[in-house]
Amino acid sequence: MDYHGEKQVKSGLVALVGPPNVGKSTLLNTLLGQKISIVSPKPQTTRNKILGIVNGEDYQIVILDTPGIHTARSPLNQGMVKIAVSSLADVDVIIFMIDISFPLPGKIIAATDHLQNAGKPVILLVNKADLVAREKLLPILEAYRNVFPFHAMIPISALHRDGTDILLAELLQLLPTGPRFYPEDIPTDSTERFIAAEIIREKIFLLTTQEIPYSCAVMVDSFLEEEKKITIHATIFVERKSQKGIIIGKQGSMLKQIGQSARLELKDLLGINVELKLWVKIRKDWSTDALFLRELGLG
C-alpha cells in the first residue's frame, strides 16, 4: 500500500471474521457511519473481502470484512472461506464475531485453529448482547474463554452502536504507530462498479427466497459517468431457466423491483441520478466454474 502523509497515528489492519450472518457487515457500516458492505438477514451474503477505512484525528483502522467461516462443500463456498482465512495473514489484530444466539463454543472450535495459526491478538465480539439480560452474558463469555485465549471479550450491539467505543479503545491499544495507509476522506478502496454490483446482489437477497439469492451472481458491464447522471448496465447470472423466470418475475415485475430498489440506493450513495439497466442471463453451473469464479474475485 502507498502511504499518504507523514503524521504518525495509530494505524493498522484488522480482520473481521466469524460465522456467517452474525452482523459483521452491519458492524463495519456502523463504524464507518455509512454503508459500504451489503447486509441481509440471510447467511453468506458477503462473498468478497470488503475493506473499510475508519478514520479519527489520531488513528486510521483499516478493517477487512470477510465472508463467514463455515464448513464449505461447493467451490463457491470454499472460495469464500479461503478469502476469510487468507485475510488473517497480514493483519495486526483479528476480531472474531459471534452473536448471542450462536450455539455455545462447540461450532467455533474448528475456526480457533485458524486463529491460533495466525498468531495475532484476537478480540471476541458477542453481537446482539442487548437482547439478553446481563447476568446471562457471563456464562456465555466464560464458555468462550475456555476455548481460546482471547485478548478481550466485548458484548456489543452492532446495530445500535452499543460497545463500539470499547472495541475502538481495545483496537487502539493493539495497533502500531505509523502513517495512514489511505487519505482521510475515503471510506473504502472498493470501486463504485464493485459496490454497484454488490447493491444489486443485496436487493436479490432481500427480495427473493429459497435458493435464488445463492444461485445469482452480478457483473457490471459498463459504468458511464456523465455530467448529470451515471448509467450502469449490469447482468444478473443464474444457473437454470427456472431461476431466470423467478428473477424476471411476472411481466418483469421482480426485475423491475430489484432495479428500482438498487437504483434508489445507488443514487443516494453516489449523490447523482442513476440510470440502471439490468439483464438476466443463464450461465449453467457458474458456481462450480473456476474461471467464472475468478472473474468474480472468488477464485
The answer to whether residue 208 scores a pLDDT higher than 70 is: yes
Residues paired with residue 235 on neighbouring β-strands, in sequence order: 219, 279
Hey, which CATH number is domain 192-295, 3.30.300.20, 1.10.274.10, 3.40.50.360, 2.60.120.380? 3.30.300.20
**Checking phi first, is residue 33 left (phi over 0); if not, alpha (psi -120 to 50) or beta?**
left
Q: Map out the domains of the chain as residue ranges.
A: 9-178, 192-295
Confidence category of residue 103, pLDDT binned at 50, 70, 90: low
Task: Please check whether residue 152 is in contact with residue 170, taking contact to mean a CB–CB distance below 8 angstroms.
Answer: yes
The H or E element containing residue 25 is: helix 24-32
Note the residue count of the chain: 299
What pLDDT was estimated at residue 6? Answer: 67
What pLDDT was estimated at residue 2? Answer: 44
The answer to whether residue 79 scores a pLDDT higher than 70 is: no
Angle between helices 241-248 and 253-270 (to 10 degrees): 60
Pairing of strands 217-225, 152-155: unpaired
Task: Please check whether residue 40 is in contact with residue 202, taking contact to mean a CB–CB distance below 8 angstroms.
Answer: yes
Confidence category of residue 1, pLDDT binned at 50, 70, 90: very low
Average pLDDT, the chain: 86
**Checking phi first, is residue 95 left (phi over 0); if not, alpha (psi -120 to 50) or beta?**
beta
pTM: 0.81
d(CA 57, CA 46): 30
Task: Please check whether residue 236 is in contact with residue 280, taking contact to mean a CB–CB distance below 8 angstroms.
Answer: yes
Report the SS3 class of residue 241: helix
- Report the Cα–Cα distance between both ends of the chain, in Å, rounded: 22
Instruction: Please give the average per-residue pLDDT across 164-174, as a whole number.
Output: 96
Instruction: Spell out the CATH class of 9-178.
Output: alpha beta
Task: Please check whether residue 14 is in contact with residue 63, taking contact to mean a CB–CB distance below 8 angstroms.
Answer: yes
d(CA 153, CA 64): 19
* Residue indicated by cell numbers 436479490: 204
Instruction: Tell me the per-residue pLDDT of 32-65, one tens digit each, with 9 for 90 and over.
Output: 998 888 776 666 666 567 889 999 999 999 998 8
Task: Please check whether residue 105 is in contact with residue 143, taking contact to mean a CB–CB distance below 8 angstroms.
Answer: yes
Give residues with Cβ within 8 angstroms of 105, minimum separation 6: 143, 144, 146, 147
Closest alpha carbon to 111 in 134, 100, 95:
95
For 112, 137, 146, the CA distances from 149, given in Å and listed in that order, are 10, 18, 7
